[in-house]
Chain A
């Protein structure tokens, strides 16, 4: 169990969260604006707004903050893979619960990788609305290929 420390110490089997929150219009608009998605479903009136699926990437950071109060660790972490599936639209005002688990940690070509699998659930309906797999390189110093 490596929660309670820094992100780079996370290990297979570690559970992050669950953390509950309510999706706000500010979050949807701000994120979409930052990545130049100016579609009305992301930048329009409050009643029209849905969550960009990619916003789940910041739920990963939400879980890290919750589980790893010590921060990133000594080396920068590099995101290598995003894999998300959306089962139904998530709307502003929805009460959500996000939970993650480190399902793998391994070394390849001298780099340490970690795989985090996350589930996003609508608290009121109990339905799974998104699942997400995130693969990161935990220390980049010797790396030369990934972004």
Chain B
């Protein structure tokens, strides 16, 4: 195992991603498609994530990303670093502290806080996790525990 992944202070990041209109819509379309579970694409009524007029009627300046996109990018980073076992045992908590607008750059990051025995020969690795824009403003914040 790479010692860096359990060293307090170690930091990991995904390459910056623009939050494009398509990325927002992929999550919108996934919802009815998964609900139908018939192998075909399905769409839904306008949402604040894919329809500017609807978003403006809800008091927003335009479409914003579903928070779960950033949560999933954080989960993806944890799996990149710690492996697929993360999907079978972990804790992940995220809060969406600022809207993510169309074409805003998003950088997904994680930093090891500490590692402690967790029983059964496992160690619990606690991390701060977050997404920030290209000015360093945090958009999504949270914490995670993965088991090593």
Contact = CB atoms under 8 A, between A and B. Distances in A.
B56 to A, nearest CB: 11
A135 to B, nearest CB: 8
A147 B29 contact: no
B93 A83 contact: yes
Please classify the interface of chain A as helix (H, G, I), strand (E, B), loop, or mixed, using the class held by over half of its residues: mixed
Interface residues on A, range: 35 or more
A51 B87 CA distance: 7
Nearest to B100: A147
Interface residues of B, number: 49
Nearest to A79: B67
Contacts of A146: 96-97, 99
Contacts of B33: 30
Given A26-B39, A36-B76, A58-B31, A142 B59 contact: yes
> What are the 4 closest A-B residue pairs judged by CB atoms, nearest first?
A89-B88, A35-B72, A147-B96, A34-B30
Given A85-B91, A89-B89, 16 more contacts: A26-B37, A31-B34, A35-B68, A35-B69, A37-B79, A53-B92, A54-B68, A57-B71, A58-B35, A75-B58, A76-B58, A83-B94, A141-B59, A143-B59, A145-B98, A146-B96
